[in-house]
Amino acid sequence: MPRLAIKGGKPIRSKLFPAYNTIGKEEKDAVKKVLDSGNLSQFLGAWGSDFLGGPVVRRFEEAWAEAVSVSHAVSVNSNTSGLFAAMGACNIQPGDEVIVSPYSMSASAIAPMVYGGVPVFADIDPDTFCMDPKSIESKITGQTKAILIVHIFGHPADMDAIMLIAKKYKLKVIEDCAQAPMGKYNGKCVGTIGDIGVFSLNYHKHIHTGEGGMIVTNNKELAERLQLIRNHAENVVEAAGVTGFDNMIGYNYRMTEVEAAIGIEQLKKLPYLLEQRIENAEFLHRALGSLQGLSSPPWVEKSSLHTFYVQPLKYDQSKLEVHRNEFVAAIKSELPSAVLRETVPLIGAGYVKPLYLQPIYQKKASVCSFNCNHYKGSVDYKKGLCPVTEQMYFKELITHEFMRPGMKESDLKDVVDAFEKVVKYIDELKMNVPVAG
């Protein structure tokens, strides 16, 4: 009689895991105060006292800047908008190359194309899953103008090595910190090491405002450019007396007072939420990383901080003799998802498909980036471009969210029991045992 749930056995757990919901009375009270004021947004797309937004937006920016010890914070309506604005602030022009990660949300690679730039993909490190500095340096050409780093899964990238490369070749560095709020690298907050850092406040991040983002920098001129791009720059540059910005077209990337009010309260909760994530991740790191066929990547140095947007595991098919995808499907059958996300599993195989395999790169869609007279280089996005990335996506990487805050020790033990069960009865996945139903 089958033991594994995927083959008709009884699952380890059927009750949904606890919800991850960081919104509480504090946020509701803050929103009510904004609603009662009648002032839901105070931005004006014209030069004047309201060009930088209303009082709650400004308080949120000040609080974020203080939290990460940076000089300037500029709120936006998404991390994606922040990355786009960062490209403009760094003066990316048609024909410029920007080195990007192939293993991230698509906006991280698309950002240069908003200004006619060309994304060039560097491979990732097999333990951190962040961009490999050696691969980055190998991709630099005379057209390279910037490096867009991603602190993927919450793991800080190797910023010392990356900043040395940037200094050597005089390149701008933008840090995509969407998955790493308050993460640290050698004692410094991620996002504050390069020229510009961008954070996400999307609803499924550590903390959120529904939609939203925050950009940080220690450079006053870059901060001013970001503020202009956020709010209809072309309409205000003359009145503001700004000159020398060849690509200074503005957009509406503005955050509302309601979102900022929520953000202020969410930011106060972030240290505790990170503490819970790390504690749960440590438990699962010890328990799952020692199982046959699985390994947990090395823990970060004590002076650094991994924020665990998701927790990665590596799978060795030679040890268990079934494909990783079959193994993950078996785990999914043993465990439910969570309250508030009933239809979305808390575990997955491979994260995102390498971005350069998307149609826009494979077909080199008719956008200026690939078909511009200003571009003197050439790019090839063929399969095999980033072998480590492809190995992780197609064969080795498993990501899960079981370390989310709200998970009790009993919940975590169910997770461990499920993994142990599938490993113990792995032979059932090799046999032609009918699936129930």
- State the angle between helix axes of 257-288 and 25-37 in degrees (0 to 180), rounded to the nearest 10: 160
H-helix or E-strand containing 221?
helix 220-230
Which residue type does 30 have? A
The reported pLDDT for the residue numbered 247 is: 58
Total-model pTM? 0.95
Query: Residue 236 pLDDT > 90, yes or no?
Result: no
Q: State the pLDDT at residue 373.
A: 84
Assess whether pLDDT exceeds 70 at residue 433: no
Q: Which residue(s) pair with 172 in the sheet?
A: 146
Q: What are phi and psi of 362, to 5 degrees?
A: -65, -35
**Whole-number mean pLDDT of the chain?**
95
Over residues 63-85, the pLDDT tens digits come to: 999 999 999 999 999 999 999 99
Note the pLDDT of residue 394.
Answer: 98
Give the relative orientation of helices 220-230 and 79-89 as an angle to the nearest 10 degrees.
120
Q: What is the CB neighbour count within 10 angstroms for residue 431? A: 8
- Which of the four pLDDT bands, split at 50, 70 and 90, describes residue 437? very low
Q: Residue 344: pLDDT above 70?
A: yes
Q: What local confidence, expressed as pLDDT, does residue 352 receive? A: 96
pLDDT tens, position by position, 267-321: 999 999 999 999 999 999 999 999 999 999 999 988 999 999 999 999 999 999 9
pLDDT band for position 366 (cuts 50, 70, 90) = low
SS3 266: helix
435 pLDDT exceeds 50? Answer: no
How many Å apart are CA 426 and CA 422, to the nearest integer? 5
